Amino acid sequence: MHNTAESLYTNLEANRYSYLTRARQASRITLPYIMPDEGFGSHSRLHTPFQGIGARGVNNLASKLLLALLPPNAPFFRLNVDKYGLQAEGAPEEMITGIETALQQVEDSVMDEISRETYRVGVHEALKHLIVTGNALVYLPDEGGLRVFHLDRYVVERDPMGNILKIATKETVSYATLDNSIKEAIGANYEGKSGDDDCDIYTAICRVDNKWHVYQDIHGVRLPDSEGYYPLDKNPYIPLRFSRIDGEYYGRGYVEEYLGDLQSLETLTQSIVEGSAAAAKVLFLVNPNGTTRARALAESPNGAITQGNAQDVSVLQLNKFNDFRVAQETINTIKDRLGHAFLLTSGVVRQAERVTAEEIRMLSQELESALGGLYSLLSTELQMPMVHRLMSVMNKKKSLPKLPKDIVNPVIITGVEALGRGHDLQKLDMFLQGATQVVGPDAVARHVNVSEYFSRRATALGIKTQGLIKSVEEIQGEQQQAQQMQMTEKLGPAGIRAVSDNIKQQQSEEQ
For 226-249, give the DSSP string.
--EEEETT--SEEEEESS--TT-S
Whether the predicted model's global pTM rises above the 0.85 cut = no
Helix (H, G, I), strand (E, B) or coil at 378: helix
For residues 202-231, average pLDDT = 89
The runs of H, that is alpha helices, within 397-471 are: 416-439, 441-447, 450-461
- The residue with greater pLDDT, 158 or 449, is 158
pLDDT at 419 over 60: no
Query: In this predicted structure, which of 57-71, 77-91, 280-294 has the lowest mean pLDDT?
Result: 77-91
- Evaluate if residue 306 carries a pLDDT over 70: yes
Mean pLDDT for the stretch of residues 182-199: 68
For residue 254, give the nearest of 133, 145, 387 by alpha carbon.
Answer: 133
pLDDT classification of 166: cutoffs 50, 70, 90: very high
Poorest-pLDDT segment among 244-248, 255-259, 368-372, 375-379: 368-372
Predicted pLDDT of residue 413: 74
Q: Check residue 170 and give its pLDDT.
A: 93
What pLDDT score was predicted for residue 251? 92
**Range 13-17 average pLDDT:** 92
Q: CA-CA distance, 456 to 428, in Å (whole number)? A: 9
Give tens-digit pLDDT for 345-365.
655 455 555 555 555 455 545
Provide the strand spans (E) within 187-233: 198-208, 211-218, 221-222, 228-231
| Average pLDDT of the chain to the nearest whole number | 81
Judged against a pLDDT cut of 70, whether residue 415 lies above it is answered with no
pLDDT value at residue 213? 93
pLDDT digits (tens, 9 = 90+) for 40-61: 877 788 889 999 999 999 998 8
* pLDDT over 90 at 249, yes or no: yes
Residue 143 has pLDDT above 90, yes or no: no
Q: Can you tell me the distance from the alpha carbon of 297 to that of 304, in angstroms, rounded to the nearest whole number? A: 10
